Structure 1
Amino acid sequence: MRINVLQHTPNEGPGVISEWAHQRGHEIYVYHPAQFNKLPMADETDMLVILGGPMSPNDDLPWIAKERQLIKELLTQDKPMFGACFGGQQLAMTLGATVKDAPVKEVGWAPVFLKSDVIPDLPKTSTVLHWHQQMFTIPNGAQLLYSSDGLKEQGFVYGHRVVGLQFHFEPLADNVREIVVNDGDYAAGSILNQTPAEIIAHPVPKENAATMFKILDWINE
């Protein structure tokens, strides 16, 4: 299977998603549309992963609109898609939802709470990395998947092929360090009140990788 990954900023890569792909015998191709204005074709995509970034889906940039067109084509082909943060927002907007400033800024580690059992055997509570100030609304026809204390709309599942999250299950410890050393100033003003050093020092929960594996396995069933 060819997994096409859309990476939007150098310090937010696929993390444990690469481990899942390699263990399952799949090939990963990483595109950088914000830097090179390149996107895969729908017919060369078996699964799409849309990662985070500092931009907004509301930004008037041609590659953002082209990315949503690709998502739209893959929806019609019933291809599996997973999006985190900006990626989840792109999925939501393509499905007719809106993206707007969230009532709170969440940057750092905090729990999210499972709101649907549609994907079997996911933990009821997970401590995850938040890195956002915008949010999506839940698209029509989708199910709310996760909420946090600060924000109800933390994740959704659409049909059996699409999962969009506002937060991050995918980072490994090296990825967290990369995010923070490059963008740690963004933590200022977060309701989580964590310094960059505290975010780095927080261990990545081992169960996050297992949860990520379960989500990716499920959308590929």
Structure 2
Amino acid sequence: MTRRILIVLHQERSNPGRVAQALLQCGCELDIRRPALGDPLPETMAAHDAAIIFGGPMSANDDLPFIKAETEWIGVPLKEEKPYLGICLGGQMLARHLGARVWVHPEARVEAGYYPIRPTAEGAHLFDDPQYVYQWHREGFELPSGAVQLAEGAGDFPVQAMRYGDKAYGIQFHPELTTPMMDAWLTLAAERLKQPGAQPAEAHREGRQAHDAALRAWLGRFLDHWLPPEAGAGGEG
């Protein structure tokens, strides 16, 4: 049975990268929507088996109609107990939906590049210790009431991965990143690299050589865990 995954993106040129590659390789069908450009979100998850909201340059705190609508909409997969994954902005939206604070670092520090995170006791089955992940964010989120923290950062942004209930996950980092995506971010958003805490561009490329294989393997393991068993996932990207 083909699994149909709702993919929510936030810009015209955004793409779901390696996550899409892994899902397609395991036979899933992708329904890509961009609410920021007018695409509607479904009133029910009856026609979808899971949902993923990706990142974007906007904030979960922005007073934009589509941000508010997406944040509220997360209640649909939660209520219907369908798997939900929030990546960076999508994870921050999940935190806000659950009543937690999304915040800018008081010293305007960011994470941009490869950084180590460590699993909590509850996340030891999902993450290596340490797990190097690719970050590109200037905001973090607090752990919502009732959520379980799965991974923690050693530096400026302590909550790096969480689970709410059995099927909803939020992460700060970007496992979907491909090499062309990294090149585009480093070029089109080079101003981010000037902010405190960001790594220089050459460190991003060196980090990719050192850590990408392990992060790709993590993505396959995580998708196998996150989706219903018969869906499976994994593969190359």
Aligned residue number for residue 90 of structure 1: 93
Structure 1 segments (4+ residues) deviating >6 Å: none
Identity percentage of aligned residues: 30
In structure 2, how many angstroms separate the alpha carbons of the residues matched to 1:108 and 1:102?
17
Q: CA deviation at 1:184?
A: 2.0
User: Map of 1:39-118 to 2, 5 A cutoff?
Assistant: 39-42=41-44, 43-103=46-106, 104-118=109-123
Aligned residue number for residue 155 of structure 1: 161
Q: Per-residue CA shift, 1:88-112, capped at 9, x if unaligned?
A: 0011111221111124311112111
User: Map of 1:135-214 to 2, 5 A cutoff?
Assistant: 135-150=140-155, 151-192=157-198, 194-203=199-208, 205-214=212-221
Aligned residue number for residue 28 of structure 1: 30
Classify 1:168/1:107 alpha carbon distance in 2 versus 1 (closer, same or farther; 3 Å). same
* SS in structure 2 of the partner of residue 216 of structure 1: helix
Kept in 1: contact 2:5–2:29 (CA 8 A) = yes
In structure 1, how many angstroms separate the alpha carbons of the residues matched to 2:35 and 2:132?
30
Q: CA deviation at 1:113?
A: 1.1
Which residue identity is paired with 1:131? W
Which residue identity is paired with 1:63? F
Q: Per-residue CA shift, 1:38-71, capped at 9, x if unaligned?
A: 3334333321111111111111111112112221
In structure 2, how many angstroms separate the alpha carbons of the residues matched to 1:146 and 1:73?
25
TM-score, normalised with respect to structure 1: 0.90
- Bigger mean CA deviation after superposition, 78-87 or 116-125: 116-125
Aligned length in residues: 220
Q: Per-residue CA shift, 1:133-176, capped at 9, x if unaligned?
A: 11111111111111122121111111220110111122122221
Q: What is the Cα-based RMSD across aligned positions, in Å?
A: 1.9
Classify 1:131/1:218 alpha carbon distance in 2 versus 1 (closer, same or farther; 3 Å). same
In structure 2, how many angstroms separate the alpha carbons of the residues matched to 1:148 and 1:39?
33
In structure 1, how many angstroms separate the alpha carbons of the residues matched to 2:96 and 2:162?
12
Kept in 1: contact 2:113–2:207 (CA 8 A) = no
Structure 1's unaligned 5+ residue stretches are none
Q: CA deviation at 1:190?
A: 3.0
In structure 2, how many angstroms separate the alpha carbons of the residues matched to 1:84 and 1:53?
9
